[in-house]
Amino acid sequence: MTCPGDWPEPVVRVQSLSESGKPIIPDRYIKPPPDRPSVNSSPPDINIPLIDLAGLTSDDLAVREATLMEISVACREWGFFQVINHGLKGELVDGAREIWREFFHESMEVKQKYANSPKTYEGYGSRLGFQKGAILDWSDYYFLHYLPSSLKDHHKWPAQPPSLREVVEEYSKEIVRLGKVLLEVFSINLGLKHDYLQNAFGGEDIGACLRVNFYPKCPQPDLTLGLSSHSDPGGITFLLPDENVSGLQVRRAQQWVTVKPARHAIIVNIGDQIQVLSNAVYKSVEHRVIVNPDKERVSLAYFYNPKSDLLIRPAPELVTPTTPAIYPSMTFDEYRLFIRTRGPQGKSQVDSLKSPK
Ligand code: OGA
Ligand code: NI
Protein backbone atom coordinates (compact mmCIF):
# COMPACT_ATOMS: atom_id res chain seq x y z
CA MET A 1 0.00 0.00 0.00
CA THR A 2 1.34 3.41 -0.88
CA CYS A 3 0.81 6.56 1.12
CA PRO A 4 -1.66 9.11 -0.18
CA GLY A 5 -0.44 12.61 -0.94
CA ASP A 6 -2.49 14.27 1.74
CA TRP A 7 -4.32 13.70 5.00
CA PRO A 8 -7.82 12.18 4.83
CA GLU A 9 -9.36 15.02 6.85
CA PRO A 10 -8.57 18.69 7.42
CA VAL A 11 -5.62 19.02 9.81
CA VAL A 12 -6.44 20.43 13.24
CA ARG A 13 -3.53 21.65 15.37
CA VAL A 14 -3.97 20.33 18.89
CA GLN A 15 -2.17 23.42 20.17
CA SER A 16 -4.92 25.60 18.62
CA LEU A 17 -7.62 23.47 20.26
CA SER A 18 -5.83 23.81 23.57
CA GLU A 19 -5.39 27.56 23.21
CA SER A 20 -9.07 28.04 22.31
CA GLY A 21 -9.73 27.52 26.03
CA LYS A 22 -12.79 25.29 25.49
CA PRO A 23 -13.39 23.09 28.55
CA ILE A 24 -14.36 20.05 26.44
CA ILE A 25 -12.24 18.14 23.93
CA PRO A 26 -13.70 17.11 20.55
CA ASP A 27 -15.06 13.54 20.34
CA ARG A 28 -12.31 12.38 18.04
CA TYR A 29 -9.74 12.68 20.85
CA ILE A 30 -11.80 10.65 23.30
CA LYS A 31 -10.32 7.17 23.82
CA PRO A 32 -12.39 4.07 24.57
CA PRO A 33 -12.58 3.49 28.36
CA PRO A 34 -9.97 0.65 28.58
CA ASP A 35 -7.35 2.88 26.94
CA ARG A 36 -7.85 5.83 29.29
CA PRO A 37 -5.08 6.87 31.69
CA SER A 38 -6.70 5.80 34.97
CA VAL A 39 -6.78 2.07 34.14
CA ASN A 40 -3.99 -0.12 35.61
CA SER A 41 -1.51 2.49 36.79
CA SER A 42 1.38 1.15 38.86
CA PRO A 43 2.30 2.42 42.36
CA PRO A 44 4.16 5.76 42.16
CA ASP A 45 7.43 4.49 43.68
CA ILE A 46 8.25 2.19 40.74
CA ASN A 47 10.58 3.57 38.06
CA ILE A 48 12.57 2.28 35.10
CA PRO A 49 16.25 1.46 35.86
CA LEU A 50 18.71 4.36 36.08
CA ILE A 51 22.17 3.57 34.72
CA ASP A 52 25.36 5.62 35.04
CA LEU A 53 27.18 5.24 31.73
CA ALA A 54 30.40 6.60 33.24
CA GLY A 55 30.85 3.00 34.42
CA LEU A 56 31.48 1.86 30.84
CA THR A 57 34.79 3.70 30.71
CA SER A 58 35.87 3.15 34.31
CA ASP A 59 39.49 2.07 34.94
CA ASP A 60 38.10 -0.62 37.16
CA LEU A 61 37.17 -3.77 35.25
CA ALA A 62 34.63 -4.78 37.89
CA VAL A 63 32.80 -1.48 37.44
CA ARG A 64 32.78 -1.87 33.65
CA GLU A 65 31.38 -5.38 33.95
CA ALA A 66 28.78 -4.35 36.50
CA THR A 67 27.61 -1.58 34.16
CA LEU A 68 27.31 -4.00 31.23
CA MET A 69 25.30 -6.29 33.49
CA GLU A 70 22.96 -3.48 34.58
CA ILE A 71 22.29 -2.69 30.94
CA SER A 72 21.76 -6.36 30.14
CA VAL A 73 19.20 -6.78 32.91
CA ALA A 74 17.42 -3.55 31.93
CA CYS A 75 17.19 -4.69 28.28
CA ARG A 76 15.84 -8.12 29.19
CA GLU A 77 13.49 -7.12 31.95
CA TRP A 78 12.31 -3.65 30.99
CA GLY A 79 13.24 -2.79 27.42
CA PHE A 80 13.55 0.73 28.86
CA PHE A 81 16.11 2.51 31.06
CA GLN A 82 17.42 6.00 31.61
CA VAL A 83 21.09 6.93 31.39
CA ILE A 84 23.15 9.67 32.99
CA ASN A 85 26.77 10.63 32.24
CA HIS A 86 25.96 9.82 28.64
CA GLY A 87 28.43 12.38 27.30
CA LEU A 88 25.89 15.04 26.27
CA LYS A 89 26.42 18.22 28.24
CA GLY A 90 23.58 19.46 30.43
CA GLU A 91 23.47 22.72 28.47
CA LEU A 92 23.10 20.83 25.22
CA VAL A 93 20.15 18.71 26.33
CA ASP A 94 18.42 21.66 27.98
CA GLY A 95 19.21 23.86 25.00
CA ALA A 96 17.81 21.34 22.51
CA ARG A 97 14.57 20.93 24.44
CA GLU A 98 14.09 24.65 24.99
CA ILE A 99 14.77 25.67 21.39
CA TRP A 100 12.04 23.28 20.27
CA ARG A 101 9.69 24.64 22.90
CA GLU A 102 10.33 28.06 21.39
CA PHE A 103 9.59 26.71 17.94
CA PHE A 104 6.18 25.46 19.07
CA HIS A 105 5.51 28.91 20.50
CA GLU A 106 6.23 30.61 17.17
CA SER A 107 3.14 31.92 15.37
CA MET A 108 0.93 29.43 13.54
CA GLU A 109 1.93 31.13 10.31
CA VAL A 110 5.61 30.26 10.88
CA LYS A 111 4.84 26.65 11.79
CA GLN A 112 2.41 26.10 8.92
CA LYS A 113 5.20 26.74 6.44
CA TYR A 114 6.45 23.30 7.43
CA ALA A 115 3.09 21.49 7.43
CA ASN A 116 3.75 17.82 6.64
CA SER A 117 2.04 15.19 4.50
CA PRO A 118 1.75 11.42 4.96
CA LYS A 119 4.14 10.88 2.04
CA THR A 120 7.27 11.51 4.11
CA TYR A 121 5.95 12.80 7.44
CA GLU A 122 8.73 15.42 7.45
CA GLY A 123 7.79 18.71 9.03
CA TYR A 124 5.04 19.92 11.34
CA GLY A 125 2.32 17.34 11.91
CA SER A 126 -0.67 16.56 14.07
CA ARG A 127 -1.48 12.92 13.35
CA LEU A 128 0.21 9.58 12.74
CA GLY A 129 -1.57 7.25 10.34
CA PHE A 130 -4.11 8.32 7.77
CA GLN A 131 -7.13 6.18 8.45
CA LYS A 132 -10.20 8.28 7.95
CA GLY A 133 -12.23 8.74 11.12
CA ALA A 134 -9.39 7.50 13.40
CA ILE A 135 -9.37 8.59 17.03
CA LEU A 136 -6.49 11.03 17.32
CA ASP A 137 -3.85 11.75 19.96
CA TRP A 138 -3.55 14.98 21.92
CA SER A 139 -0.25 16.17 20.40
CA ASP A 140 1.49 17.96 17.56
CA TYR A 141 5.01 17.06 16.43
CA TYR A 142 7.91 17.94 14.17
CA PHE A 143 9.71 15.21 12.25
CA LEU A 144 13.06 15.52 10.48
CA HIS A 145 15.88 13.39 9.08
CA TYR A 146 19.53 13.65 10.08
CA LEU A 147 20.91 10.45 8.50
CA PRO A 148 21.37 9.22 5.85
CA SER A 149 22.78 12.51 4.57
CA SER A 150 20.83 12.04 1.35
CA LEU A 151 17.64 12.59 3.36
CA LYS A 152 18.93 15.49 5.42
CA ASP A 153 17.62 18.79 4.12
CA HIS A 154 18.08 21.87 6.26
CA HIS A 155 15.28 23.59 4.35
CA LYS A 156 12.92 21.09 5.92
CA TRP A 157 14.17 22.02 9.40
CA PRO A 158 12.72 25.17 10.98
CA ALA A 159 14.57 28.39 10.15
CA GLN A 160 13.27 29.89 13.38
CA PRO A 161 14.41 30.26 16.14
CA PRO A 162 17.66 31.22 14.37
CA SER A 163 19.97 28.83 16.25
CA LEU A 164 17.68 25.80 15.96
CA ARG A 165 19.47 24.13 13.05
CA GLU A 166 22.85 24.51 14.70
CA VAL A 167 21.60 23.09 18.01
CA VAL A 168 19.89 20.16 16.26
CA GLU A 169 23.12 19.40 14.35
CA GLU A 170 25.15 19.29 17.54
CA TYR A 171 22.56 17.27 19.43
CA SER A 172 22.21 14.81 16.53
CA LYS A 173 25.93 14.20 16.29
CA GLU A 174 26.04 13.31 19.98
CA ILE A 175 23.04 10.99 19.76
CA VAL A 176 24.60 9.10 16.84
CA ARG A 177 27.78 8.70 18.88
CA LEU A 178 25.76 7.36 21.81
CA GLY A 179 23.88 5.04 19.47
CA LYS A 180 27.12 3.42 18.36
CA VAL A 181 28.21 2.94 21.97
CA LEU A 182 24.96 1.25 22.92
CA LEU A 183 24.85 -0.99 19.84
CA GLU A 184 28.29 -2.24 20.85
CA VAL A 185 27.16 -2.80 24.43
CA PHE A 186 24.05 -4.68 23.26
CA SER A 187 26.16 -6.83 20.89
CA ILE A 188 28.55 -7.80 23.70
CA ASN A 189 25.70 -8.47 26.11
CA LEU A 190 23.96 -10.69 23.55
CA GLY A 191 27.16 -12.73 23.09
CA LEU A 192 27.69 -11.41 19.54
CA LYS A 193 30.81 -9.87 18.02
CA HIS A 194 31.17 -6.33 19.36
CA ASP A 195 30.38 -4.81 15.95
CA TYR A 196 27.63 -7.24 14.98
CA LEU A 197 24.66 -4.94 15.48
CA GLN A 198 26.36 -1.87 14.02
CA ASN A 199 27.14 -3.90 10.88
CA ALA A 200 23.63 -5.34 10.79
CA PHE A 201 22.38 -1.74 10.91
CA GLY A 202 24.49 -0.85 7.86
CA GLY A 203 27.79 0.27 9.46
CA GLU A 204 28.12 4.00 8.87
CA ASP A 205 24.95 4.06 6.76
CA ILE A 206 22.46 3.97 9.58
CA GLY A 207 19.33 6.10 9.72
CA ALA A 208 18.70 8.75 12.36
CA CYS A 209 15.59 10.86 12.59
CA LEU A 210 14.04 13.07 15.20
CA ARG A 211 10.45 13.46 16.26
CA VAL A 212 9.84 16.34 18.62
CA ASN A 213 6.57 15.87 20.42
CA PHE A 214 4.53 18.78 21.72
CA TYR A 215 1.75 17.88 24.15
CA PRO A 216 -0.40 20.95 24.80
CA LYS A 217 -2.37 21.39 28.03
CA CYS A 218 -5.54 19.36 27.93
CA PRO A 219 -8.82 20.30 29.66
CA GLN A 220 -9.91 16.62 29.94
CA PRO A 221 -6.71 14.60 30.40
CA ASP A 222 -8.60 11.59 31.79
CA LEU A 223 -10.35 10.97 28.49
CA THR A 224 -7.44 11.05 26.06
CA LEU A 225 -3.75 10.25 25.50
CA GLY A 226 -0.89 12.40 24.21
CA LEU A 227 0.43 9.40 22.31
CA SER A 228 -1.40 6.08 22.11
CA SER A 229 0.26 2.86 23.15
CA HIS A 230 2.88 1.71 20.66
CA SER A 231 6.31 0.14 20.40
CA ASP A 232 8.95 2.04 18.43
CA PRO A 233 9.48 0.49 15.01
CA GLY A 234 13.20 1.29 14.66
CA GLY A 235 16.42 0.19 16.36
CA ILE A 236 17.00 2.19 19.52
CA THR A 237 15.12 5.29 20.68
CA PHE A 238 16.77 8.05 22.71
CA LEU A 239 14.12 10.12 24.39
CA LEU A 240 14.83 13.44 25.98
CA PRO A 241 11.89 14.03 28.31
CA ASP A 242 10.55 17.22 29.79
CA GLU A 243 11.94 17.23 33.31
CA ASN A 244 9.17 19.45 34.61
CA VAL A 245 6.21 17.36 33.50
CA SER A 246 5.92 13.59 33.60
CA GLY A 247 3.83 11.88 30.95
CA LEU A 248 5.65 8.85 29.56
CA GLN A 249 4.30 5.50 30.75
CA VAL A 250 5.89 2.14 30.10
CA ARG A 251 3.98 -1.13 30.11
CA ARG A 252 5.23 -3.59 32.70
CA ALA A 253 3.12 -6.76 32.93
CA GLN A 254 -0.44 -5.44 33.00
CA GLN A 255 0.47 -2.10 34.57
CA TRP A 256 1.53 1.32 33.32
CA VAL A 257 4.66 2.65 35.04
CA THR A 258 5.09 6.44 34.90
CA VAL A 259 8.71 7.36 34.16
CA LYS A 260 10.28 9.80 36.61
CA PRO A 261 13.17 11.38 34.68
CA ALA A 262 16.48 12.07 36.43
CA ARG A 263 18.17 15.44 35.80
CA HIS A 264 19.70 15.60 32.30
CA ALA A 265 18.97 11.92 31.77
CA ILE A 266 18.21 10.38 28.40
CA ILE A 267 15.70 7.55 28.23
CA VAL A 268 16.75 4.60 26.08
CA ASN A 269 14.37 2.01 24.70
CA ILE A 270 14.60 -1.04 22.50
CA GLY A 271 12.80 -0.80 19.16
CA ASP A 272 11.20 -3.53 17.09
CA GLN A 273 14.28 -4.05 14.88
CA ILE A 274 16.42 -5.01 17.90
CA GLN A 275 13.67 -7.36 19.00
CA VAL A 276 13.94 -9.06 15.59
CA LEU A 277 17.78 -9.06 15.49
CA SER A 278 17.98 -10.47 19.02
CA ASN A 279 15.30 -13.06 18.21
CA ALA A 280 13.22 -11.58 21.05
CA VAL A 281 15.91 -11.89 23.75
CA TYR A 282 15.28 -8.14 23.97
CA LYS A 283 11.76 -6.90 23.48
CA SER A 284 10.51 -3.58 22.32
CA VAL A 285 8.14 -2.52 25.05
CA GLU A 286 4.84 -0.72 24.67
CA HIS A 287 4.64 2.80 25.96
CA ARG A 288 2.29 5.75 25.77
CA VAL A 289 1.99 9.35 26.93
CA ILE A 290 -0.60 10.93 29.19
CA VAL A 291 -1.35 14.64 29.18
CA ASN A 292 -1.74 17.29 31.80
CA PRO A 293 -4.44 19.91 32.51
CA ASP A 294 -2.04 22.69 33.56
CA LYS A 295 1.24 22.05 31.81
CA GLU A 296 2.41 21.53 28.26
CA ARG A 297 5.15 18.97 27.65
CA VAL A 298 7.97 18.79 25.09
CA SER A 299 10.00 15.65 24.33
CA LEU A 300 12.61 14.78 21.71
CA ALA A 301 12.44 11.20 20.43
CA TYR A 302 15.54 10.32 18.41
CA PHE A 303 15.23 7.14 16.40
CA TYR A 304 18.49 5.32 15.62
CA ASN A 305 17.57 2.94 12.84
CA PRO A 306 19.01 0.36 10.49
CA LYS A 307 19.71 1.42 6.90
CA SER A 308 16.27 1.20 5.46
CA ASP A 309 16.81 -1.27 2.60
CA LEU A 310 18.83 -3.91 4.46
CA LEU A 311 17.22 -7.19 5.40
CA ILE A 312 16.82 -7.44 9.16
CA ARG A 313 16.65 -10.94 10.58
CA PRO A 314 17.44 -12.77 13.82
CA ALA A 315 21.23 -13.10 14.37
CA PRO A 316 22.19 -16.68 13.36
CA GLU A 317 24.11 -17.07 16.67
CA LEU A 318 20.82 -16.59 18.54
CA VAL A 319 18.90 -19.12 16.46
CA THR A 320 19.19 -22.62 17.92
CA PRO A 321 17.10 -25.81 17.84
CA THR A 322 15.43 -24.71 21.07
CA THR A 323 15.15 -21.06 20.04
CA PRO A 324 14.19 -21.09 16.35
CA ALA A 325 13.92 -17.84 14.42
CA ILE A 326 10.61 -16.26 15.28
CA TYR A 327 10.67 -13.54 12.64
CA PRO A 328 11.05 -13.57 8.88
CA SER A 329 13.56 -11.25 7.19
CA MET A 330 12.17 -7.86 6.27
CA THR A 331 13.64 -4.48 5.45
CA PHE A 332 12.95 -1.55 7.74
CA ASP A 333 11.29 0.24 4.79
CA GLU A 334 8.76 -2.56 4.45
CA TYR A 335 8.21 -2.69 8.18
CA ARG A 336 7.70 1.03 8.67
CA LEU A 337 4.88 1.14 6.19
CA PHE A 338 2.65 -0.73 8.67
CA ILE A 339 2.87 2.04 11.24
CA ARG A 340 2.74 4.93 8.82
CA THR A 341 -0.47 3.50 7.44
CA ARG A 342 -2.29 2.71 10.63
CA GLY A 343 -0.86 4.98 13.31
CA PRO A 344 0.22 3.77 16.76
CA GLN A 345 -1.48 0.47 17.60
CA GLY A 346 0.22 -1.23 20.51
CA LYS A 347 2.59 -3.98 19.45
CA SER A 348 0.43 -5.47 16.76
CA GLN A 349 3.01 -4.96 14.05
CA VAL A 350 5.97 -6.84 15.52
CA ASP A 351 3.64 -9.56 16.84
CA SER A 352 2.01 -10.02 13.46
CA LEU A 353 5.47 -10.70 12.01
CA LYS A 354 5.98 -13.90 13.94
CA SER A 355 6.55 -16.70 11.47
CA PRO A 356 4.13 -19.58 11.77
CA LYS A 357 5.90 -22.56 13.35
C1 OGA B 1 7.73 8.50 20.73
C2 OGA B 1 7.45 8.41 22.18
C3 OGA B 1 7.35 9.48 24.31
C4 OGA B 1 7.30 10.83 24.94
O5 OGA B 1 7.84 9.65 20.23
O6 OGA B 1 7.81 7.43 20.08
O7 OGA B 1 7.22 7.32 22.65
O8 OGA B 1 7.50 10.89 26.14
N9 OGA B 1 7.49 9.53 22.90
O10 OGA B 1 7.06 11.80 24.24
NI1 NI C 1 7.71 5.76 21.26
- Domain for residue 267, yes or no? yes
- Domain for residue 224, yes or no? yes
**Ligand 1: residues within 6 Å at CB?**
211, 213, 227, 232, 239, 241, 247-248, 287, 289, 299, 301
CA atoms within 13 A on the CB side of 80: 21
Smallest CA separation from ligand 1 atom 5, residue: 301
Predicted confidence (pLDDT) at residue 357 exceeds the cutoff of 50: no
- Domain for residue 125, yes or no? yes
Give the atom of ligand 1 at the shortest distance from the alpha carbon of 226. 10
Task: State in Å: Cα 248 to ligand 1 middle.
Answer: 7
Give the atom of ligand 1 at the shortest distance from the alpha carbon of 139. 10
Residues, CB within 5 angstroms of ligand 2 (ion)? 232
- Domain for residue 283, yes or no? yes
Q: What is the CATH number of the domain that holds 307?
A: 2.60.120.330
- Domain for residue 253, yes or no? yes
Give the atom of ligand 1 at the shortest distance from the alpha carbon of 287. 7
pLDDT mean over 277-301: 97
pLDDT tens profile 238-269: 999 999 999 999 999 889 999 999 999 999 99
Range of the domain at 229: 29-350
Which residues does 165 contact at the CB level (< 8 Å), separation at least 6?
Answer: 154, 157, 158, 159
What's CA 172's distance to the chain center, in Å?
A: 14
Model confidence at 352, pLDDT cuts 50, 70, 90, reads low
Predicted confidence (pLDDT) at residue 180 exceeds the cutoff of 80: yes
Q: How many domains does the chain have?
A: 1
- Domain for residue 4, yes or no? no
pLDDT at residue 86 in the model:
98
Task: State in Å: Cα 65 to ligand 1 middle.
Answer: 30
Task: State in Å: Cα 267 to ligand 2 middle.
Answer: 11
Predicted confidence (pLDDT) at residue 203 exceeds the cutoff of 90: yes
Predicted confidence (pLDDT) at residue 349 exceeds the cutoff of 80: no
pLDDT tens profile 11-56: 999 999 999 999 999 999 999 999 999 887 777 789 999 999 999 9
pLDDT at residue 342 in the model:
63
pLDDT tens profile 52-98: 999 999 999 999 999 999 999 999 999 999 999 999 999 999 999 99
Ligand that comes closest to the CA of residue 248: 1
Worst-scoring range by mean pLDDT, 137-141, 293-297, 305-309, 344-348? 344-348
- Domain for residue 169, yes or no? yes
- Domain for residue 172, yes or no? yes
Smallest CA separation from ligand 1 atom 1, residue: 301
> Beta-strand (E) ranges in 40-174?
50-52, 80-84, 123-125, 140-147
